[in-house]
Amino acid sequence: MTRANRQLKILDIISKHDIDTQEELVEYLKNEGFNVTQATISRDIKDMGIIKTLASDGRHYKYSVQRTKESTVADKFLNMFKNTVLSIRSSGNLVVLKTEVGSAGPAAELIDKLNFEEVLGVIAGDNTIFVAIDNAEHTDMICDRLKSLLDSNRLF
């Protein structure tokens, strides 16, 4: 699994769970099939700008994504998407994206995270992504939205 896959999974985990320690995050990642060490997670946390904030109980801390004006984690993944997607085409109720080798997984994860209502599911290989659309009438719209990401400067 690539660094980008691991970092997307870290974002997913800290958005769903109040993670207080790097060791706890390592355990969650191992349960998801990532063989990582605490040192790797420490580098990821620094690289992604993740910080500790007060948890909802007011007594513990948890990892959170730090939002800055210059760059957010979402922007980093948008840049990764922009730098690895080679083409976006559609046919029927499918949108097919071609990526650099090894980049389909992280790009597909980003598409999943966008939660487009019309997207039924996303399947990624090594360099190809299939996006199933609920209705062929929505395919061009989703294709255009994904293409617009390639020209976008901000994700949200």
Q: How far apart are CA 120 and CA 142, in angstroms?
A: 12
The string of pLDDT tens digits covering residues 20-79 is 999 999 999 999 889 999 999 999 888 887 888 888 888 888 988 766 544 566 677 787
Q: What is the DSSP letter of 72?
A: -
- Whether the model clears a pTM of 0.75, i.e. scores above it, the answer is no
What mean pLDDT is reported for the chain?
86
Question: Using an 8 Å Cβ cutoff, are 75 and 33 in contact?
Answer: no
Mean pLDDT of 122-150: 94
Q: CATH class for domain 3-65?
A: mainly alpha
Q: How far apart are CA 84 and CA 121, in angstroms?
A: 20
- The percentage of residues in the chain with a pLDDT greater than 90, rounded to a whole number, is 41
Specify the DSSP element, H or E, that contains 129. Answer: strand 128-133
pLDDT of residue 134: 96
Residue with tokens 């959170």: 64
Task: Say if residue 122's pLDDT is above 60.
Answer: yes
Whether 73-151 and 3-65 are alike in CATH topology: the answer is no
Give domain limits for the chain: 3-65, 73-151
Q: Which of residues 69 and 96 earns the better pLDDT score?
A: 96
Buried b (16+ CB within 10 A) or exposed e, 32-70: eebebeeebbeebbeebbbeeeeeeeeeeebbbbeeeee
In CATH, 73-151 is 3.30.1360.40: yes
Residue with tokens 């360099």: 127
